[in-house]
Amino acid sequence: MEDANWVHLPVMGVKIAEMLLLKKDGAYVDGTLGLGGHAKYFLSLLGQDARVLGFDKDINAVQMAVKNVDDKRLTAFNKSYELIPQVLAELGLGGVDGVLLDLGVSSYQLDDGRRGFSFQRGGPLDMRFDTSAKLTARDIVNTYPVKDLEKIFIDYGEEPSALKIAMAVFNARRAGHIETTEELAAVINAATPRRGRIHPATRVFQALRIAVNDELGALERTLKFLPDILNPGGRAAVLTFHSLEDRIVKNAFKQMAADGKIKLVNKHVIEPCYEEVQNNRRSRSAKLRIVEKL
């Protein structure tokens, strides 16, 4: 893995800390710990009695985050953020003062070809955050019917050539299993022309990753209990990186506000500034929404 920009470049870290860390010695949850970039930055601003609970399904990320953050105020859990309520109950915590869900894929996952997340890195078609989970991208690509592949590519990738690509995948696998990211990218590339600077495989790889990890389902289920785990005045921040996630968050927060559970801290989405995008290209599609429990 390349030297991690995570230490210096947690996406929108300054803005999130400014709007989320309202209690210097509060308890906070980093629902998507990654390599610990946000957690490390937050702890540099918090008091000695503060605590951060970090969650991540990727055991390798958890181990590296603990080492990278190197702070006894961080407690890391190799668990999905869907399990936050159970962990808080086990710890005897009635609520926390802030929650961050950073829904971006970790740079180290994208850059490690062995994980199979990126068509720009050669490796097996895997894409699992939790490497103990059964379903892989290889399973989907090689066994799902054409209509199911098309639905995944449309629903999770908003891919305009979904049927054409699904048929190409089906025809290619008849000659033998599609095993690697390079093989799948080649099939997609041959089936549909490049649209501007966007590689034809971009949306399909996103769709497969979301399907493998049930990302949107997990997000929807988690958003429902967010108000329940926040102390009064506590805030939740969600950082998304594509329109599907942002739409789910926007609609869920709007409904919660209408129900009187929370108030919108920012009525309009917050995006990274020009300087951040220039320094960290992976921040360019980030969108931030924050709510506060009443």
Q: Both 286 and 162 in a single domain?
A: no
Q: Both 134 and 201 in a single domain?
A: yes
Which CATH number does the domain housing residue 95 bear? 3.40.50.150
Closest Cα to residue 282, out of 242, 244, 245, 248? 242
Q: Both 135 and 9 in a single domain?
A: no
Element (H, E) at 14: helix 13-20
| 179, 187, 206, 226 from 163: Cα distances, Å | 21, 13, 16, 37
pLDDT score at 7: 46
**Looking at 167, 187, 212, which one is the last position of a domain?**
212
Residues linked to residue 55 through DSSP beta bridges, in sequence order: 77
Task: Provide the domain count of the chain.
Answer: 2
131 half-sphere exposure, CB direction, 13 A CA radius: 12
- pLDDT, tens only, 201-250: 999 999 999 999 999 999 999 999 999 999 999 999 999 999 999 999 99
Q: Both 30 and 82 in a single domain?
A: yes
Q: Residue written as tokens 């009635």?
A: 94
- pLDDT, tens only, 72-113: 999 999 999 999 999 999 999 999 999 999 998 877 788 888
Which CATH number does the domain housing residue 169 bear? 1.10.150.170
Q: Both 237 and 275 in a single domain?
A: yes
**29 pLDDT more than 90:** yes
pLDDT score at 6: 39
At 212, the amino acid letter reads V
By residue range, what is the domain housing residue 270? 5-108+215-293
Q: Both 43 and 61 in a single domain?
A: yes
Q: Is residue 115 part of a domain?
A: no
Q: Is 291 helix (H, G, I), strand (E, B) or coil?
A: strand
**Looking at 212, 236, 257, which one is the last position of a domain?**
212
**Looking at 212, 242, 262, which one is the last position of a domain?**
212
- pLDDT, tens only, 266-275: 989 999 999 9
pTM of the predicted structure, to 2 decimals:
0.92
For the stretch 283-287, contacts whose Cβ atoms lie closer than 8 Å and that sit 24 or more positions apart, written own/partner, are 283/9, 283/11, 283/12, 285/241, 285/242, 286/11, 286/12, 286/104, 286/239, 286/240, 286/241, 287/239, 287/240, 287/241, 287/246
Q: Residue written as tokens 């390349």?
A: 2
Q: Is the dihedral of CA 57, 63, 67, 71 positive or negative?
A: positive
User: Is residue 4 very low, low, confident or very high in pLDDT (cuts 50, 70, 90)?
Assistant: very low
